[in-house]
Structure 1
Amino acid sequence: MNKTSTPQGSALVIALIVMALLAAAIIGLMNNVETDLFIGRNVRIIKQAFHWSDSGMEAAEELIGFSIDSRGDDANNSTERTINGRKYSVKNSGDAIYISDNSTVVLEVDDEEIARIDILHLGSVLGDGSSIIMAAGFQGVGKGAGSGGTLMTFFALQSRGNTLENDTAIKRSAQVYRFLSR
């Protein structure tokens, strides 16, 4: 036997120890990657719920403006559009928003509710009037004056956004919306 060589089988033991350490490191990295994927998925779902909630607020603001301008043509109204094979709809099943104390607007994608917006009419207030004096007399056109007032109508909007993937991911938004009609 040669005195400088290692005992038989020690290389095998060292190789097994190195492989066990590498396997433990790989398993630890796999757990970290899996956790990061779950975190990323949850963040994406919450952001999607927030964006649906925010879109609901914008749709409600548009409906409020249309309701006031049209004096209630939105009562029991719904709108549907199909884009890239998906059906998007906005539904207001209640009374006209501008005369109702409470209304609910629902946004749907492929007949699944993604946002529900509760609209509470807070009241209306006359705003300060404004006036303008037109002086074009030097050109022989004439002079005149005009004045007007503003009606400010206030609504409280509360939106609840859902996701299509996970019913437990809900994001809520709220704001007070002021509509000015002249």
Structure 2
Amino acid sequence: MNRSTLQMFAAECAEELPEAQLEHPFGPNWEVFKVRGKVFMLMTEGPRHPVVILEADPVRPTLSESLQPLGAEGVMAKRGTAGYPFGRRAWVKVRHADTVEARVVGFTGTRRRPRNLALVPAGAARPRLSARLDPVLAARVGTALLGALATGQRPAHGEPCTGLETDLVVEVLAGTGRHGTLTVVRLR
């Protein structure tokens, strides 16, 4: 396997761990690092970029944080109790993302399942419309909006936007730009 800078740094960190062992149980294209027989990192070459799959402790500073300056997009994660079922979707890609807070001042669609949110990001003066909410997030936001006082309706992108008086705050991806659509990540 031809190692990238990312993989070399990950391997160096892994080899510093006490009792860490490198094995190749899936062939020469997969490097598997274990401690006391338990896998904690796998590396291979993906079709477009190197792949580092890492099990990490979410409380401590992680290897993924150290890899960000090298251009790492994120890490693959699984539950600590789960096995290593290749070919199944037990792994989740966790991408690094910086977020900022935005105050909810309205919505489009229904109150129970809003389609978009009218948001005022921290430091901004005017509201902006978010990207379409995914169904799970829309349901959570809808529940949080049930007690909010409506302040009227205005058109926004061809549909009515209901204004609200609420203390609800969401996190949006940072850097979605002055003119870009805000992407809501989670409720606060």
TM-score using structure 1 length: 0.23
Give the structure, 1 or 2, with the largest relative contact order (CA under 8 Å, sep 6 or more). Answer: 1
Q: For the pair shown, which has the larger CA radius of gyration, 1 or 2?
A: 1
Structure with greater helix percent: 1
TM-score using structure 2 length: 0.23
